[in-house]
Structure 1
Amino acid sequence: MGQLFMLTRMGSWIKRHKVWSALIALVVLFVLYKIIAPTPHDYEYTGEKVGRGEVLRVVSASGKVRALNTIKVGTEVSGQVTKVYVDFNSPVTAGQILAEIDPTRVRARVQQTEAQVALARAGLQQTAANVLRARSELEIQERDFARQRDLAQRGFVSKANLDAAQTRLNSARNALDVALAQTQSGNAQIRQATAELSSARLDLNRTVIIAPASGVIIDKLVEPGTTVAASFQTPNLFEIAADTTKMQVEASVDEADIGQIVEGQNVTFTVDSYPDDVFRAKVRQVRKAPVETQNVVSYLVIIDVDNLDGKLLPGMTANVEIITGAKKNALRVPTNALRFRPKAADRGPPVEEQPAKPGKKEAPRQTLYLAGTDAYKPVRKQVRIGLQGDEYTEILSGIKAGDTVLVRTKSLKPKAETDDTDEDDSAAS
């Protein structure tokens, strides 16, 4: 009875206040709609189709372009450079004269040593004459001693005369030995003076700087009038690139990546001068000597490249990519799809991982999220991956071509609310 009375009074109030009743009804309906209706999402997931194509694994590095064979031309004599016959970029051939050093001092030394050789030879002739004279004197003393000995045996000469003859014989022998020693000394002096003469003549020839090999002058360090000193080390005058049609890149590879580098791998690189040109090369050598810079260890990788068009110049900076693995026509997905995770509220229950078969080495497993029938209910898949590159990763099993893998989360909020950021990739769980 009480409820009926309340309904009767409410009905009469509604009849008397039709406008207010309508407004109250609209407010109640709006509140119920807000409570019941789903809240629209302010984001969406972006995906890419799974397809086939090339998968590349590369190691990035930087290095310098160098001539394959660079020759530094110096001088072993000191003096003033009087003439320079070449300039930068001058082509030269083996044996070509590059420069000349003032030969006055070296020529005077040659003349001085020539005089020493002549003096030594004259001294040798004199000692040779002394040897002949000593031999003659020895023969005379030997005959005289023999006569004195015979006479002494017959009693015609005293013992004192025989001793005097023996003394003269010994003196003659000593004189011959001295003359022979002087001859040996004279021969040694001639050999010494001749060696000094050869050295002086060699230095005289070295005042003319010649190219040891054919190539191109890439550096010139002297001008006429420059004084060079070759006292402690050989000063460099020129630098020749022996063959500019073949160059090499000396790339510095981090120790974390050096284990992937082997001889013969394909390489691509660019230089700042030609950013649209991609140069192709091959790894020739991995040098095992470590280079440590600010506690960072790296290794030098030598890369050979043809330079038939002459675009590459020594000293250019090369941005190198060494291809350490390649698969063609592989089922692939973007590599960032392996790192993508949807928002926590949209993730389904975890997929139970299948245990690996004992004794069998299997490919590593990763988790991917595929687009489902509901845009906000991604399908979680476990896949086996093969070759993993920076851009794409090979998929061995778990999905098929044509599937759509999610790669990022895109915000639908106005830019003013998102601080000009329209993408927000969720972190991996």
Structure 2
Amino acid sequence: MLSKLRSWIGRHKIWSALIALVLLYVAYLAVRPVQHDYEYLGETVARGSVERVVSASGKVRALNTIKVGTEVSGQITKVYVDFNSPVTKGQVLAEIDPTRVRARVQQIEAQVALARAGLQQTAANVARARAELQIQERDYARQKSLAERGFVSKANLDAAQTRLNSARNALEVATAQTESGDAQIRQANAELSSARLDLNRTVIIAPASGVIINKLVEPGTTVAASFQTPNLFEIAADITKMQVEASVDEADIGQIREGQDVTFTVDSYPDDVFRARVRQIRKAPVETQNVVSYLVIIDVDNLDGKLLPGMTANVEIITGAKANVVRVPTSALRFRPKAADRQAQEEPQPGDPDRKQAPRHFVYLAGTDPYRPVRKQVKIGLEGDDYTEILSGTKPGDKVLVRTKSLKPRTPSEDADEDDSAAS
């Protein structure tokens, strides 16, 4: 057989060479390494801290904002403060023209004086009626005694009785007039007190110490307090302590508790992280375009005065935290290798339980073959946005895969699209 093959090769050298080249090429294709256009990137399992946060946005507010108004209508004649002016309790902020109110006070004072004079006159009438009553009582007694002895007629006794009754009625009328005059004085005094109170209210004073954060009037402005109290100023009682009113989605509100730590930033100081604490969770729902949220009140110190009322706060409420635990990137729990690289691992083997019984949480570890990662079941603890606590299944030093990186050459159009997206 070999002799025939050698004979045929000797007679057909060119064909023999071509066949040998084809066989060599086929063998090369069988043994050459497969070229991949991607690679897997991983991160080493290590110990560290894990935080679970709820993100929200809100507004910075003064802890106690006082709106200063007026119950008196009139024209503002003087304004003594401006925006950002510090004020103390009792300090005069503005004045309203008191001319009309002062005239009303003088008018009521005159009414009080007139009522007092009338009361004095009725008091004199009472004294006169009482004296007349005493005279008629003595006269009636005398006439009765004489009538009993027959010295005067029955007609004279009846006339004395009539005069006595008239004197009694006159005393009752005078007494009633006195009570009416006294009531008129009390009414006039009440109106006088109200008018004097309005006169005092023409001077607007600060009800508490703080800083003027809003001024709504200038000299010459006319304010009308007919239907509601107009606001003139807004005072932030204490700007060294502020609060953030954060709107938390209903899906996350169940994780929020009073006393939880909070971090937030504001656009004015993007590099500064402010620390705060949850003070209150308001149970009243706020519905906006069919989205339900709840207001969470967060206390923050503002000793350096950087925070101003109305600033937008980007809030992160720390709902869980653990330190010095074994952790992996949360993205490792979501990572899946290419189908060609994981098909053999995930095919059920004889005797294996049903695929529905597969572990819920697992990661892929880098193996000896970079394109054949090893799937590993893990038990997780606290799950955060960036890292997740691992209770069992991996140990520090293992390398878990987190994402796939493409090795295909990038075209200029793809680079331009990426630059445009980054710029936007």
TM-score by length of structure 2 reads 0.90
3-state secondary structure, aligned to 2:361: strand
Deviation at 1:148, TM superposition (A): 2.2
Corresponding residue of 1:89: 84
CA–CA separation in structure 2 for the residues paired with 1:4 and 1:157 = 193
1:322 to 2:317 alignment? yes
What secondary structure is seen at the aligned counterpart in 1 of 2:122? helix
Structure 1 equivalent of residue 220 of structure 2: 225
Which of 154, 157, 182 aligns to 1:159? It is: 154
1:190 aligns with 2:209: no
| Alpha-carbon distance in 2 for matches of 1:207, 1:53 | 65
Q: Conserved in 1, the CA contact under 8 Å of 2:69 and 2:230?
A: yes
Asked if 2 retains the 8 angstrom alpha-carbon contact of 1:92 and 1:214, the reply is yes
Once the two structures are superposed, the pairs formed by residues 234-313 of structure 1 within 5 Å of their partners are: 234-313=229-308
Decide whether aligned partners of structure 1 residues 11 and 159 sit closer, same or farther in structure 2, where only a CA change above 3 A counts: farther
Among 130, 149, 159, the alignment partner of 1:135 is 130
Identity %: 81
Q: Residue in 1 aligned with 2:346?
A: 349
Q: String of CA shifts for 1:315-372, please: whole Å, max 9, x gaps.
A: 1111111111111111000011111111222221368689xxxxxxxxx951111111
Count of residue pairs the alignment pairs up: 408
CA distance in 2, matches of 1:4, 1:299: 94
The 5 A counterparts of 1:1-20 are 12=11, 14-15=12-13, 18=14
| Whole-angstrom CA distance in 1 between matches of 2:360 and 2:353 | 9
Match of 1:103 in 2: 98
Q: 1:353 to 1:134 in 2, by over 3 A?
A: farther
RMSD, matched Cα: 2.6
Q: What code does the residue aligned with 2:308 have? A: L
Give yes or no for the alignment of 1:46 onto 2:41.
yes
| 2:25 paired residue number | 30
- Within the candidate set 321, 329, 337, 2:332 is matched to 337
Q: 1:394 aligns with which of 377, 386, 389?
A: 389
Unaligned runs of 5+ in 1: 355-363, 423-429
For residue 286 of structure 1, what is the amino acid of its counterpart? Answer: I
Q: Identify the range of structure 1 (392-401 vs 282-291) with the bigger mean alpha-carbon deviation.
A: 282-291
AA matched with 2:76? V
Aligned to 1:168: 163
Q: Check conservation: 2:9, 2:16, Cα contact below 8 A.
A: no
* Partner residue in 2 for 1:65: 60
Alpha-carbon shift at residue 35 of structure 1 (Å): 6.0
> What is the CA distance between 1:418 and its match in structure 2?
11
Q: Secondary structure at the match of 1:415?
A: coil
Instruction: Name the structure 1 match of 2:196.
Output: 201
Please report how far the alpha carbon of residue 228 of structure 1 lies from its aligned counterpart in structure 2 after TM superposition: 0.3
Report SS of the residue matched to 1:268.
Answer: strand
Distance in 1 between residues matched to 2:243 and 2:48, nearest whole Å: 31
1:55 paired residue among 50, 53, 59: 50
Provide the rounded CA distance (Å) in 2 between the counterparts of 1:255 and 1:129.
79
Offset at 1:265? 1.2
Rounded Cα–Cα distance in structure 2 between residues aligned with 1:329 and 1:92: 50
Question: Per the alignment, in what secondary structure is the counterpart of residue 94 of structure 1?
Answer: coil
In structure 2, what is the Cα distance between the partners aligned to 1:72 and 1:417?
Answer: 61
2:143 partner SS: helix
Is the aligned partner of 1:411 residue 2:406? yes
Asked whether the 8 Å contact 1:49–1:401 carries over to 2, the reply is yes
Mapped to 2, the partners of 1:24 and 1:123 lie a distance apart of 143
How many angstroms does 1:24 deviate by? 6.1
Flag the 1:114–1:8 CA change in 2: closer, same or farther, 3 A: same
Give how far 1:37 is off: 4.5
CA distance in 1, matches of 2:292, 2:148: 98
Structure 1 residue matching 2:77: 3-state secondary structure: strand
Alignment partners' CA distance in 2, 1:22 and 1:190: 138
- In the TM superposition, what is the alpha-carbon distance from 1:415 to its structure 2 partner? 2.0
Structure 1 residue 267, shift from structure 2 partner: 0.9
Contact 1:365 1:385 in 2 (8 A): no
Match of 1:375 in 2: 370
Unaligned runs of 5+ in 2: 419-424
Equivalent-residue separation in structure 2 for 1:105 and 1:27 (angstroms):
117
- Quote the Cα distance in structure 1 between the aligned partners of 2:22 and 2:147: 169
Q: Which amino acid aligns with 2:115?
A: A
Partners of 2:5 and 2:363 lie apart in 1 by 61
User: Residue by residue, what CA displacement relative to the aligned partner does 1:190-237 show, whole Å, maximum 9, x if unpaired?
Assistant: 111011111111111111111111111111000000000011111111
Q: Is structure 2 residue 217 aligned with structure 1 residue 210?
A: no
Q: Deviations over 1:65-93 (max 9, x none)?
A: 11111111111100000011111111111
TM-score normalised per structure 1: 0.89
Q: Which residue type is aligned with residue 176 of structure 1?
A: L
- Give how far 1:9 is off: 6.4
Q: Aligned partners of 1:260 and 1:9: how far apart in 2? A: 85
Measured in 1, the distance between the counterparts of 2:288 and 2:320 equals 28
SS at match of 2:254: helix
Once the 2 structures are TM-superposed, how far is the Cα of residue 46 of structure 1 from its aligned partner?
1.0
